[in-house]
Structure 1
Amino acid sequence: MVAALTFAAGCTVFGLAAPAAAAVPATIPLTFTNNSGRADQVYVYDIGTQLSTGRQGWADASGAFHAWPVGGNPPTPAPDASIAGPANGQSMTLQLPKFSGRIYFSYGQKLVFKLTTGGLVQPAVQNPTDPNRDILFNWSEYTLNDAGLWINSTQVDMFSAPYAVGVKAPDGTTKSTGHLKPGGYNGFFSALRGQPGGWANLIQTRSDGTVVRALSPGHGIESGALPATVMDDYVSRVWSKYAGSTLTVTPFADQPNTTYYGRVSGNVMNFTNGSGAVVTSFQKPDADSIFGCYKLLDAPNDLVRGPISRALCAGFNRSTLLANPNQPDTSSANFYQDAVTNQYARKIHAQMADGKAYAFAFDDVGNHESLVNDGNPQRAYVTLDPFS
């Protein structure tokens, strides 16, 4: 069973709870390669939660842990946790400790981190006053623990500087994900600009004209860049359909007999089990709940509501709920076919070399996420890819 590990400002990555047969060392090497084609100085950060103690902090290039000092209110500057990254065409080796965290990288400028009494304040560029708003940066999420390494390429919060991740297994093979198709970086932004309905407003540029990112649609709603009503038509059609028919959710691929049945009554979709007892209910969701897979589509770490919510969230984002009354629909050929859909996620997946991405929180439903893992990792990789 996969267990969520949360750190700092709420980033969630995944790792197995049970220990592996082979012992994972205290640190593993990470090869960080700069193939970006850019001349900017790159800065690298390894921040997160130390799994042995639960303390928040950062790791230096040797993998040594440094706890954050106590912050303040208002927030106080965090210690400089940056590591000078390799020049274009070069590589360097870092040591990853047992963390649940993020590997940030930025171009040309160091990121601004601050500390409150509750911990680290991470970049939140949907806020126009965030000091990192005009910095070109991105991050990977990872968990390294006694059961192995899980490392992803994520676009849950934004699409920005291109990169890929990888892990080397004991047999010498390397699994990687996150690479874009040739021309995929510019292709994504061109496609988003051409999408009517406010989607182009997700793109952020700085004063010199450089495109720095596209916000995820949830952050777009939060910042006013995307209309909050963008999914209303689809939601209303789903609610109308299942007022008169049944939505069947079989949340576990390995448990085909665990099935729940959804029917709409007024503003609520009630799910019953095979005995007809109501096990959970969902209010009619808004776009923010859909894109964030939270609020009205909250997914607690349980065995009933959470798994049903995951299937609903994926179905709304991929617009498969009307076409298929049996969920989750895990065939990518059926995704994003409705005119009302998560256009951001659609356009990201279209540009990925392997079709995989973390364009929304539960993009792993059906294994469509950009994640690699190994129970006995020999080495990890982060590769900064070309922009053109």
Structure 2
Amino acid sequence: MSVKRKLLALGAALATAAGLAAVPAVSSAAVPATIPLTIQNNSGRTEPIYVYNLGTELSTGRQGWADANGTFHPWPAGGNPPTPAPDASIQGPANGGSITIRLPKFSGRVYFSYGQKLVFKLTTGGLVQPAVQNPSDPNRNILFNWTEYTLNDGGIWINSTQVDMFSAPYSVGVRMSGGAEKTAGRLTAGGYHGFFSALKAQPGGWGNLVQTKPDGSVLRALSPGHGVGAGLLNAAIMDDYINRVWAKYASSTLTVTPFADQPGTKYFGRVSGNTMNFTNSAGAVVTSFQKPDSDSVFGCYKLLDAPNDLVRGPISRTLCAGYNRSTLVSNPNQPDAGSSGFYQDPVTNHYSRLIHERMVDGKAYGFAFDDVGHHESLVHDGNPAQASITLDPFS
């Protein structure tokens, strides 16, 4: 990952990064134009909370923000250098309290920050997102986090995410029309502090991912991809495992069955030199991958690019999951049926491992395609009555 800011069109690109690329758009309007989102503050902290709902209006494709009533406001034109964005903040709940806002049919993010408003700017290309792997980012010393969601006529998909960073703890939920609630993203008791302690103790420089305020208080841990891009983590940290994968499949076959509902669709990978070629059942080469580096593995991009197609993308997603979970050497049939073999190799994505270990249900978005095999912290309902974000204790 580059230390430069990324300009994200909060929509298809964001949804893909969150594993939501397959969210369907259906023609029947089963879901109202807005649904309530309750934000409950159980953090135990006394700072004021600021909430932002930013994204792409699905009916028009315009980028902008929604106010507390769910009314859409398009971003004005930006500039170069970037110009300040309109203040899209909503006053959040005090500790122990809650607020309810309205979610429109968006694909985007709900940010929340503690103590300070976030700084958003606009360029001619769109909104500049916080990029705290950059030491000069104006949000570097602000405690904040975000959830990602898509609400459309097919329902809501909402997740907690640690793809970019692990920071202020929170969980998400959906209350279905019958009254039952589904939740995801809740840490175990002691999980927040336990994660940072374990990451700092992990040999190999993993503790360098932790960012603190000038007073020494913990803000977040960057994802390893951002850590490599910022020079905080050894760029060759996954090389030993990647080399072993390459050696294994130079003399044996890696079988990828990317669609759980299509067990007959299989692709077969073999290494030749610096290339892993995948063939279909007829023996025709359908796509090829060059030997990846650590950054490609952690970011699931570059040499493991995953276009939104039906062949290369699904194979790449499966490879990315196998590399991050370190299961490609131990299991030639991917993806894995269960999680018992994940992160067992000494060379693995320890950041993701430590997050999953501290989730109540074991599910998280520790990397971009953590949804392979349904190990992601995502909830969905086709006819939601209400969604929720709970700001959880820093324990």
Which TM-score applies when normalising by structure 2?
0.95
Q: Identity percentage over the alignment?
A: 74
Aligned to 2:333: 326
Partners of 1:285 and 1:10 lie apart in 2 by 22
How big is the shift at 1:208? 1.2
The 1-side partners of 2:245 and 2:38 are apart by 46
The reply to whether residue 231 of structure 1 matches residue 245 of structure 2 is no
Q: Is the CA contact (8 Å cut-off) linking 1:22 and 1:376 kept in structure 2? A: no
Cα distance change, pair 329–6 in 1 and its aligned pair in 2 (3 A):
farther
What does 1:136-175 align with in structure 2 at a 5 Å threshold?
136-175=143-182
Residue type at the aligned position of 1:101: G
Q: Does 1:30 align with 2:37?
A: yes
CA distance in 1, matches of 2:190, 2:337: 27
- CA–CA distance in 1 between the matches of 2:25 and 2:123? 33
- Deviation sequence 1:347-381 (CA, Å, 0-9, x none): 00000011000010100000000000100010000
Which amino acid is the alignment partner of residue 267 of structure 1? Answer: N
Aligned twin of 1:116:
123
User: How far, CA to CA, are the matches of 2:346 and 2:27 in structure 1?
Assistant: 45
Deviations 1:88-134 (A, max 9, x none): 00011100011001000000000000000010001000000000000
Q: Does the Cα contact within 8 Å between 1:100 and 1:142 map onto a contact in 2?
A: yes
Instruction: Report the AA paired with residue 182 of structure 1.
Output: A
Amino acid at match of 1:251: P
Alignment partners' CA distance in 1, 2:349 and 2:248:
20
Question: What is the CA–CA distance in structure 2 between the aligned matches of 1:293 and 1:375, rounded to whole Å?
Answer: 29
- Other-structure match for 1:47: 54
User: What is the aligned partner in structure 2 of residue 178 from structure 1?
Assistant: 185
Q: Counterpart of 1:11? A: 14
Q: For the residues of structure 1 that align with 2:114 and 2:228, how far apart are their CA atoms?
A: 27
Tell me which residue corresponds to 1:387: 394
Q: How far has the Cα of 1:7 moved from its partner?
A: 1.8
| Aligned 8 A contact 1:8 1:119 in 2 | no
Give, as a single letter, the amino acid of the residue that structure 2 aligns with 1:211.
V
Compared CA separation, residues 47 and 72, structure 1 to 2 (3 A) = same
- C-alpha separation in 2, matches of 1:330 and 1:218: 26
**Structure 1 runs (4+) greater than 3 angstroms displaced:** none
Q: How much has 1:10 moved relative to structure 2?
A: 4.0
Q: How far apart in 2 are the matches of 1:205 and 1:16?
A: 36
- Say yes or no: does 1:257 pair with 2:264: yes
In 2: Cα distance, 1:275 partner to 1:168 partner: 47
Greater alpha carbon shift after TM alignment, 304-313 vs 7-16: 7-16
Aligned length: 384
Structure 2 CA distance for aligned equivalents of residues 65 and 214 of structure 1: 32
Distance 2:72 2:191 in 1: 36
Are 2:28 and 2:153, in contact at CA under 8 Å, matched by a contact in 1? no
Task: Say if 1:262 and 1:9 are closer, same or farther in 2 by CA, change over 3 A.
Answer: closer
Q: Deviations over 1:289-336 (max 9, x none)?
A: 001101100111111111111110000000000000101113111100
Q: Which residues of 2 match residues 41-80 of structure 1 at below 5 A? A: 41-80=48-87
Task: Measure how far apart 1:18 and its partner are.
Answer: 4.0
2 CA distance for matches of 1:359 and 1:306?
A: 19
Q: What residue in structure 2 maps to residue 274 of structure 1?
A: 281
Distance 1:8 1:128, change over 3 A: farther
Distance in 2 of aligned mates of 1:53 and 1:20 = 15
Q: SS at the partner of 1:134?
A: coil
Deviations, residues 200-241 of structure 1 (Å, cap 9, x unaligned): 000000111110000000000010000100000000011001
Q: TM-score, normalised by structure 1?
A: 0.97
Match of 2:223 in 1: 216
Query: Which residue among 304, 307, 310 is the counterpart of 1:297?
Result: 304
CA distance in 1, matches of 2:322, 2:141: 34
SS at match of 1:11: helix
What letter matches 1:336 in structure 2?
Y
Q: Which amino acid aligns with 1:72?
A: G
Would the aligned equivalents of 1:167 and 1:174 in 2 still touch at CA under 8 Å? yes
1:341 is matched by which residue type in structure 2? T
| Secondary structure class of the residue paired with 2:384 | coil
Alignment-derived partner of residue 292 in structure 2: 285
> Residue in 1 aligned with 2:98?
91
Please tell me whether residue 367 in structure 1 is matched to residue 370 in structure 2: no
How far apart, in 1, do the equivalents of 2:137 and 2:285 lie?
Answer: 44
Which amino acid in 2 is paired with 1:344? Y
Q: Match of 2:340, SS?
A: helix
Say if 2:138 is the partner of 1:131: yes
> Residues of 1 paired with 2:361 and 2:54: CA distance?
28
Q: Distance in 1 between matches of 2:256 and 2:24?
A: 26
How far apart, in 2, do the equivalents of 1:58 and 1:204 lie? 28
Supply the RMSD in Å over aligned alpha carbons: 1.3
Contact persistence 1:70–1:116 (CA under 8 A): yes
| Cα distance, 1:8–1:22 mapped onto 2, change above 3 Å | closer
